[in-house]
Amino acid sequence: MFFAFLILFLTAIIIYFGNKNESTKWASFFLLCAAFGALSRNIIDSIIPTLMEYHLANNYEISIVYQIYVFLAFLGNSCTPYGVLMFAITYSDIVSQKTRKILACLFAIPIIPMYVLDFLRLNLLKPLLIWAIPYLLISCILLTYAWFKEKNPLKKKDKLLMVLLLLPSLISALLFNYFARFFFPDVQLFRYVVVSIMFSFVLFIIFSFIHSVLGVRLRFERQVREGTIKAMTSGATIINHTIKNEIGKIAMVYHNIKSSSGLLSQSIEENLEVLYRSKEHMMAMVEKINTQMQEIILEETPSRLIDIVEESMTSIFFYFQNKAENIEIIKDYAYDPHIICDRIHMKEVIMNIIKNAIEAMIHGGTLSIQIIHYKNTVVLSIKDTGVGISGENRSNVFSPFFSTKARNLNFGLGLSYCYNVMQKSNASIKFESEENQGANFMLIFPKHKIMRNGAKVL
């Protein structure tokens, strides 16, 4: 059971620090309670017998260890079902935040008499079964229902993973830790719960690397990507400073030679012009890198999202007037929110995505722009029918200096910049793409970034 404690405790810590929101806090809570419950079994089965057998502690010290066991067992048996139910209610998002707070108080009521019974050393198994089993059954139903009713493909996949992760452990806990203890008290079937816990933990680790579980993968990726951006920014600053100094020397030499142009042949004049154009090109490169790698400082104000999108489209299509004739634009503004953002940076983000979409549609195509209100978020979707992104390139899309284009002054910083702006805005950016099947980039704004009728959406 000590191994089960380690697994549950480690998972709780990873989830809590992976993405701190309401549902992950409840997940960490019930996992910690379950971990302490597993530790209590280790205390009563191994630690106390060992202390007594080898006389490693006196009776008073053993009684203290026993009290620790009683308290940890209470957390495991009574608080775990409560935490699981609150997680399921929060994760399924079937009620408002205000209602969830009320339910959190109401569903905590049975825990109080359980603690009193535990303190009085009374048998609490039957009273526990009366409410703990329904709590766990309702949790299973809510998690399954949340997956079944989900319409968004990305979120539906997330909820299916959650069902696969939790249901085996919840069902085994119901069968072996509650029903079996009531009907077969002399048979320690609860030990079989460890098998389902190990199974769920292995799935959790696998899903965290290939997908996202309660934001854990996002956390790992963000740490790596932000570290890369920071290193690139520092390095680019040093390199830019050096290059600009050298360009300054070239410019000075150019003007010195040019001032003596009466003594120079035509071929030297032509070579000087080549040198001048190279100097200008290098300076443009330096300025572009410096602009896209500098630290982003946001000045956020409420702005109408549709206005930002329209301004971005107007600006970007000015550069693609010829190509724009072969592109059909479909707009679907099903929702008209004001969002709290830095208008200039957000416009630049949208322009970058639209620019990439247009460049991906080499022979024309369809550009679809959609704004929807999905539960507590606003999603801006920019979808094209271009060449798409190949499998080997998808993991590098937001990495600095990664690009599949061979274009002048293109350094692969556009999407890295977009990612950085969205992260600093406490929003997110995701994409779906297959090679030769286009791409769909989604800017996702959580509820605390949304305003409606001049007020924040609660």
The confidence band for 408, taking pLDDT boundaries of 50, 70 and 90, is: very low
365-374 and 327-333 beta bridge pairing = parallel
Whether residue 378 contacts residue 341, with contact meaning beta carbons closer than 8 Å, is answered with no
Beta bridge partners of 381: 370, 442
CA–CA distance, 287 with 295 (Å, rounded to integer): 14
54-58, 176-180, 367-371: which range is least confident on average?
A: 176-180
pLDDT value of residue 338: 93
Helices 80-92 and 97-107, packing angle to 10 deg: 160
Instruction: Compute the mean pLDDT over every residue in the chain, rounded to the nearest whole number.
Output: 76
Among 345, 336, 415, 348, CA closest to 378? 336
Q: Which residue has the higher pLDDT, 376 or 404?
A: 376
Residue 366 — φ and ψ, nearest 5°?
A: -120, 130
Checking if the pLDDT of 60 tops 90, the result is no
The DSSP secondary-structure symbol of 295 reads: P
Checking if the pLDDT of 44 tops 70, the result is yes
CA–CA distance, 440 with 334 (Å, rounded to integer): 17
The DSSP secondary-structure symbol of 104 reads: H
The confidence band for 368, taking pLDDT boundaries of 50, 70 and 90, is: very high
**Percent of the chain having pLDDT more than 90?**
16
Range among 9-23, 305-319, 414-428, 432-446 with highest mean pLDDT value? 432-446
Checking if the pLDDT of 379 tops 60, the result is yes
- Report the residue count for the chain: 458
36-50, 254-268, 337-351, 428-442: which range is least confident on average?
A: 254-268
CA–CA distance, 309 with 380 (Å, rounded to integer): 9
Q: Which residue has the higher pLDDT, 363 or 82?
A: 82
